Amino acid sequence: MPKLNSVLPLKRYQHGSLAIERRKNGSPVWVYRWRETSAAGDRVKRKKIVGLKTAFPSKAAAMRAVEGLQLDINTESVSGSSAPLTIDQLIEHYRDTELNSSNKKSARTKQVYLHQLVHFISPKWGKCRLQDVKPIAVETWLAGLPVAPGSRAKTKGVMSVLYQHAMRYGWATANPIRLVRQSALPFQEEIVLTPVEVAALLSELRDPFHTLILLACVTGLRRGELFGLKWEDIDFREAELHVVRSIVDQVEGPPKTLASRRALPICAELVSALQGWQAQTEFPGPDDWVFASPQALGRKPYWPDAVLKRHVLPAAERACITKRIGWHSFRRTLATLLQSGGASVKTTQERLRHSSPVMTLGTYAKAVTADKRSAQDAIAALFVGHPKTKS
């Protein structure tokens, strides 16, 4: 163990103390010390390195990390119904065990969870004890948030996951968030493009953005999956595309779900478009990004938001499309057109790589007006136009 030059005590905790250890070899580290009772009844000193001083530059940052650590230390003795654990303590433990080290969630999902925890849940509920959070209070708070219903539902979902985490460790006996009522129905209809609008948009785009949007509309890939494609992921011979990674803020991670990794068949038109772009690009190698950024010398793909702002939205304006288009619009458009074209729910689910058909029908596929009218005409035809029968 490295020799210590000095130990600077900072604050005494109920279950231990936090200090900086300046090591002879290496950077200073934050160290947490505590005492616990052994099986023989003796008081034993324990120690754990929290992290480098550079990783936790402020005292407050190190203390927040210790709060999560304290939960692990006291797992055996803490009672979920009486221990004064706070939401902030629980958040730090959840971040440490689930968001910082777990590979079960995609980079985008971790990013969304962290945003909800830091910017919404902690400022309002961080100092509250777990048992003091009540469903009606949470429901009232959510209703007052100046965000869309879908965002409120997401906040509720993350808060519920937090309580499930507490129950797993025995720090809570119930999840009050399950009793909170919060609809995810949007204020406005989700954006879905018609085939004419998609064709008009494509006509205004040049490669690589023409091929990019064609790929998005035909396959329904999520934006992280679109920009995470490499040429080695495309099997032109078998006309298949393999989703093996997702890019979020230029950080490479796994796809969102296991279902997301299913191979996707690609049509002849898309094969031709991709081969045409591969013949043009400066980065056609197997390990190169399909949509490599020239500004990054091919080492990184394009930024999705920049592509949307600088290329896709101006093209939509030139095509006289007034709808507010986002990357998810193309995925929703595919789901809706598949359903209106007579595809089965199973086929639509597999094309979108959803784990459940409930998500496919309930959230993505919207019946288009023409289909609604045809369905109504078919029902009306059952009742009208037939000779009256005498009673």
Catalogue all structural domains in the chain, each as residue range(s) with its CATH number.
1-58 (no CATH), 78-187 (1.10.150.130), 195-370 (1.10.443.10)
Mean local confidence (pLDDT), 308-330: 92
Write the pLDDT tens digit of every residue in 59-118. 778 877 777 666 666 554 444 334 458 999 899 889 888 887 656 677 778 888 999 999
Q: Which tokens hold the place of 212?
A: 């990019």
Name residues whose C-beta falls within 8 Å of residue 66's C-beta, 6 or more positions apart in sequence.
13, 16, 18, 30, 32, 50
Are 230 and 262 in contact, with CB atoms under 8 Å apart?
Answer: no
Helix (H) or strand (E) run with residue 62 in it: helix 59-73
Q: How far is CA 310 from CA 63, 282, 297, 307, 327, in A?
A: 43, 21, 19, 5, 14
Query: Across 24-96, where does the E strand assignment appear?
Result: 29-37, 43-52
What's residue 58's pLDDT? 82
Q: How far is CA 24 from CA 17, 27, 54, 103, in A?
A: 22, 8, 16, 34
What's residue 202's pLDDT? 92
What's residue 85's pLDDT? 83
Helix, coil or strand: residue 5: strand
Q: Which tokens hold the place of 184?
A: 């995810």
What's residue 209's pLDDT? 95
Are 198 and 222 in contact, with CB atoms under 8 Å apart?
Answer: no
Q: What is the pTM of this model?
A: 0.55
Are 261 and 255 in contact, with CB atoms under 8 Å apart?
Answer: yes
